[in-house]
Amino acid sequence: EAGVAQSPRYKIIEKRQSVAFWCNPISGHATLYWYQQILGQGPKLLIQFQNNGVVDDSQLPKDRFSAERLKGVDSTLKIQPAKLEDSAVYLCASSSGLAGDSEQYFGPGTRLTVT
Amino acid sequence: GEDVEQSLFLSVREGDSSVINCTYTDSSSTYLYWYKQEPGAGLQLLTYIFSNMDMKQDQRLTVLLNKKDKHLSLRIADTQTGDSAIYFCAESIPSGYNKLIFGAGTRLAVHP
């Protein structure tokens, strides 16, 4: 079974530029998550999708971050414009359901550096 | 509020047992998890425990939950160099849809 795929793996941009990350979840997984992991911290949930609908985006900075999952499969996360404090690893995860015992499978992440 | 705290660093000798501790604040948490993160990799679920359990054992891993004190621990028996990684404790918030709150992680260093 293929795991969660993310691209690119690394990205360096200047502040005020735009960037987009892509995630392909495990086949058949209805739930998709985007986390932000700042160096030295644990992952923080940014947004959660159930199929193509948003179930939680309470910690997404909506003035600059956006995410979509148009066909309920792949997802993109965009930052526009980027700030220095957006430097982090962006992790995508997927699970088969919303129950607490539905394991979240994580991708390798995209490391973003904003200069 | 929701908060998960862990000690930042643990060093053990190969073959010894490792114990990583975690405290959480949300008494309504339904599941508690331990994830492992190796350099350059995503998080891997090691084990989880339901909140009505006190202990769970899975091969070399033992999870102890003290719900009264909101304390969770992970014991790794016969620690090997391949166990060197960052270990994250996380709680599942029942008001969220399987939303996880992570601690900052404990870096485990295993030396010969």
For chain B of 112 residues, list the mean pLDDT of each consecutive stretch of 10. 87 97 87 92 91 94 95 97 96 79 96 92
Residue A20 CA, chain-centre distance (Å), reads 10
The pLDDT assigned to A93 comes to: 95
Q: Is it the case that residue A101 has pLDDT exceeding 80? A: no
The pLDDT assigned to A1 comes to: 64
Q: What is the mean pLDDT of the segment spanning A24-29? A: 95
Which amino acid would we find at residue B105?
G
The pLDDT assigned to B39 comes to: 85
- For residue B88, what are the CA distances in angstroms to B9, B13, B83, B92? 12, 21, 13, 13
The pLDDT assigned to B28 comes to: 80
H-helix or E-strand spanning residue A48? strand A44-50
Q: Choose the mutation target among B31, B98, B100, B102 for the interface with A, i.e. most A CBs under 10 Å.
A: B98
Instruction: For residue A49, give how far its alpha carbon lies from the nearest alpha carbon of chain B (Å).
Output: 10
Residue with the bigger pLDDT between B42 and A67: it is A67
Question: Residue A42 is nearest to which of B30, B97, B102, comparing CB atoms?
Answer: B102
Q: What is the mean pLDDT of the segment spanning A85-102? A: 90
The pLDDT assigned to A103 comes to: 87
The pLDDT assigned to B96 comes to: 64
